[in-house]
Amino acid sequence: MPSSGRAGLPVRPSEMTGREDSRYQLAPRAKLPLPRLAEMKRNGERIVMVTAYDAPGARFAEDAGVDVVLVGDTAAMVVLGHEGTTVPVTMEEMLFLTRTVARTATRPLVVGDMPFGSYHVSDEDAVRNAIRFIKEAEADVVKLEGAGPSLSRVSAIVSAGIGVMGHVGLTPQSETILGGFKTQGRTASKARQLLSDALALEAAGCFAVVLEAVPVPVAARITEALTVPTIGIGAGAACDGQVLVYHDLLGLTEGRAPRFVKRYANLAEEIRRALTTYA
């Protein structure tokens, strides 16, 4: 008899617990083991990542078979109403949102995105805040932006036993310094710098690196050079996985979206129509 997990979806053989034959106990889906991401890269299997900020988003992502759910600091813009910046979101807000996702997503790895200011002062501060994501919000791992000064933060957090996802290219927390939300690594020397930043993040212990708004050939070169997976957003198809912001891909954000965003639905219109009908 085929086993089923939450929502009646099939449980993959690797996720079976041996209790699937009970009619009364639906087996919880097993958490995707972190080393599986590197294995997916080696096997050429695509990694699917999406952001989520609440329990319904986490449930939809899980049921769709998403591998990694990022509770992104884009929450500042798409959930909390800050215009065009991720900087204002606080640790407390990120912990609150991450908790709602982590309590719902069973199989996908839940990544807590460290907000601006939570890892910028010292390694010790970074470790303390990363621990809060794991202990208080039950994230599986954390993500932080940049290389350079972030490298010692990555090593310190990894030494504390917490997985870290890196993020280079367009790093929105430093948008002012970068001169806006624009493609990074367009000159040969900037492309070389991006490659060496990504390699340094891998050496510091990152289990994966997000490449945001990076020219396609540069992302392809970085992906080839790294043994850990790259997750692209506006970085082309050669990356080992892709990530999109939930609200962008579902058409919940209105106004101009980045050029690379592919909209799979137009939920803003649907919601407006439904609410107008109701009202």
140 binds ligand KIV (CB under 6 A): no
Coil, helix or strand at residue 40: helix
From residue 136, alpha-carbon distances to 17, 31, 156 in Å are 27, 18, 19
173 binds ligand KIV (CB under 6 A): no
Stretch that binds ligand KIV, among 29-37, 61-69, 71-79, 133-141 (CB under 6 A): 71-79
* Sign of the dihedral through C-alpha 215, 221, 223, 228: negative
- Report the relative pairing of strands 47-51 and 230-233 from DSSP bridges: unpaired
Nearest approach, Cβ of 51 to ligand KIV (angstroms)? Answer: 4
Of the candidates 195, 109, 205, the residue with the CA atom closest to the CA atom of residue 153 = 205
In degrees to the nearest 10, what's the CA dihedral of 201, 206, 211, 214?
A: 20
Cross-strand bridge partners of residue 212 = 169, 233
* Count of other CB atoms within 10 angstroms of residue 124: 10
212 an active-site residue?
yes
Residue 258 zone, left/alpha/beta (φ > 0; ψ -120 to 50; rest): beta
Nearest approach, Cβ of 49 to ligand KIV (angstroms)? Answer: 8
101 binds ligand KIV (CB under 6 A): no
Q: Which of 15, 73, 197, 202 binds ligand KIV (CB under 6 A)?
A: 73
* Count of other CB atoms within 10 angstroms of residue 233: 25
3-class secondary structure for 127-145?
HHHHHHHHHCCCCCEEECC
250 binds ligand KIV (CB under 6 A): no
* Interaction residues for ligand KIV, span 29-68 (CB under 6 A): 51
Nearest approach, Cβ of 279 to ligand KIV (angstroms)? Answer: 32
CB-nearer residue toward ligand KIV: 181 or 199: 181
- Residue 199-218 contact track with ligand KIV, rule CB under 6 A, x = bound: -----------x-x------
CB-nearer residue toward ligand KIV: 71 or 134: 71
CB-nearer residue toward ligand KIV: 113 or 140: 113
- Residue 223-242 contact track with ligand KIV, rule CB under 6 A, x = bound: ----------x---------
Nearest approach, Cβ of 11 to ligand KIV (angstroms)? Answer: 29
248 binds ligand KIV (CB under 6 A): no
CA separation for the pair 142, 164 (Å, rounded): 5
- Look up residue 117 and give its DSSP letter: T
Both tokens assigned to 37: 């991401």
Give me the catalytic one of 212, 224, 254, 269. Answer: 212
Q: Which of 74, 98, 118, 253 binds ligand KIV (CB under 6 A)?
A: 74
Q: Are 264 and 249 in contact (CB under 8 A)?
A: yes
72 binds ligand KIV (CB under 6 A): yes
CB-nearer residue toward ligand KIV: 26 or 257: 257
Helix (H) or strand (E) holding 201: helix 188-204
Residues at the site binding ligand KIV, with contacts judged by CB under 6 A: 51, 70, 72-74, 113, 167, 210, 212, 233, 243, 245
User: Which residues does the annotation mark as catalytic?
Assistant: 212
